[in-house]
Amino acid sequence: MKRKIISTDPDVMGGTPCFAGTRVPVQTLLDYLEAGDSIDDFLDGFPTVKRQHLIAFLDTATEQMVATVR
């Protein structure tokens, strides 16, 4: 079974999609990448997000995006 990557809970950050087990919104990662910051910069700023979790999120997002254009 795959580990849950993203969670939404009305009691955590008002239901904003966050990396599971953290209070770090997924949008924050996207904002970092859009601004040209590295994954390492993001991980340094948000140590509760593990590299494996972040990579799993990016892999899943890529798979879903590719699947929608086929």
**All domains of the chain in start order, with CATH:** 6-69 (1.10.10.10)
Look up residue 45 and give its DSSP letter. Answer: H
Q: Report how far residue 68's alpha carbon sits from residue 49's, in angstroms, rounded to the nearest whole number.
A: 27
pLDDT score of 67? 87
pLDDT digits (tens, 9 = 90+) for 30-69: 999 999 999 999 999 999 999 999 999 999 999 988 988 7
